[in-house]
Amino acid sequence: MERPLVVKFKRPDSIRDYPCGAFRVGTLVQENSGWRVFRPVIDTGKCIKCLRCFLVCPDGVIDKSGEDLEIDYRFCKGCGVCAYECKVGAIVMMREGDDGNAR
């Protein structure tokens, strides 16, 4: 999976060092998987790789670089849009902990 770097924010020493507009610290400064109540789980057997979930995911956490689609759970907030939009029922939402997997 191609995973984005988490770049820790270093507080500038002086107000002069704050950016004027665009900020090059890195787009991700923290993981937010803890926001999730439900997690989407892809059934790769059912998945036809139409990439609908890839397109609609508001956080861009669905990775298509490998053989099968994968979800980067570090950044998935569990909104369920992917499961709602999947036309072949290949994504189900499971309550965190119910599937026996730790977060």
Where does this chain bind another protein (CB under 8 A)? 11-12, 15, 18, 20-27
Q: Closest distance between another protein and the C-beta of residue 19, in Å?
A: 8
Choose between 28 and 81: whose C-beta lies nearer to another protein: 28
Contacts of 20 (CB under 8 A, 6+ apart): none
Q: Residue 18 and residue 66: Cα distance in Å, rounded?
A: 38
Q: Closest distance between another protein and the C-beta of residue 64, in Å?
A: 18
Q: Closest distance between another protein and the C-beta of residue 8, in Å?
A: 13
How many CA atoms are closer than 13 Å to the CA of 72, on its beta-carbon side?
A: 21
Q: Residue 30 and residue 36: Cα distance in Å, rounded?
A: 15
Q: Closest distance between another protein and the C-beta of residue 65, in Å?
A: 17
Neighbours of 30 (CB within 10 A): 11
Q: Are 4 and 31 in contact (CB under 8 A)?
A: no
